Amino acid sequence: MTTGKTALILGGGIGGIVAATRLRQRLGPEHRVVLVEKEADHVFSPSLLWLMLGRRLPGQISRPIAALAKRGIEIVRGSIERIDPAARTVRVNGAEIAGDHMIVALGAEFAPELIPALAQAGTTSTRSPGPNRYAPRWRN
């Protein structure tokens, strides 16, 4: 009997979702594909511009991460506290998760609060509802 391997994918953005989906398609059922993501929904970032312009609604550019479970991808929802690449382990919500292989696809973490007066003067197109806040103005 062959023992299955576990692939840990850290991050549920475009890179992480594509990696998890492709691995699940190519690996047999004895292997685990585990996706770790802190957010409940995946937001398709390229469409944030359309949201900002009022051409899309938030529900049109996002999908629940949990829907990937229907494809055989295990979802662990929580914040990553520590990554040990050598041991191929990750701590999420106080629990250690080990894998045989690890893909780190965490993307960028934006910190607009570090730019003085940005919140008062404007917004970024990186997160909802920020982009949605200007849509009514730009439609007219």
pLDDT tens digits, one per residue of 14-27: 999 999 999 999 99
Q: Does residue 69 lie within any of the structural domains?
A: yes
**Can you tell me the distance from the alpha carbon of 47 to that of 127, in angstroms, rounded to the nearest whole number?**
11
* 132, pLDDT greater than 60: no
* 61, pLDDT greater than 70: yes
Percent of the chain beyond pLDDT 70?
85
Q: Does residue 64 lie within any of the structural domains?
A: yes
* 138, pLDDT greater than 80: no
Q: Does residue 57 lie within any of the structural domains?
A: yes
* The pLDDT value given to residue 137: 52
Residue 112 belongs to domain with CATH number: 3.50.50.60
Average pLDDT of the segment spanning 51-61 = 88
Question: Are the beta carbons of 97 and 5 closer than 8 angstroms?
Answer: no
Q: How many domains does the chain fold into?
A: 1
Q: 19: which 2 tokens?
A: 């990696």
Question: Are the beta carbons of 48 and 14 closer than 8 angstroms?
Answer: no
Question: Are the beta carbons of 50 and 61 closer than 8 angstroms?
Answer: yes
What is the chain's mean pLDDT, rounded?
A: 87
* The pLDDT value given to residue 113: 79
31 pLDDT tier (thresholds 50, 70, 90) = very high
Lowest mean pLDDT among 50-54, 74-78, 127-131: 127-131
Q: Does residue 1 lie within any of the structural domains?
A: no
User: Nearest CA to 68 among 127, 10, 24, 7?
Assistant: 24
Looking at the chain, list the stretches that DSSP marks H as alpha helix, in order from N- to C-terminal side. Answer: 14-26, 48-52, 118-121, 135-139
Average pLDDT of the segment spanning 92-111 = 93
Q: Does residue 13 lie within any of the structural domains?
A: yes
Q: Does residue 132 lie within any of the structural domains?
A: yes
For the whole model, what pTM was predicted? 0.83
- Which domain does 70 fall in, by range? 6-139
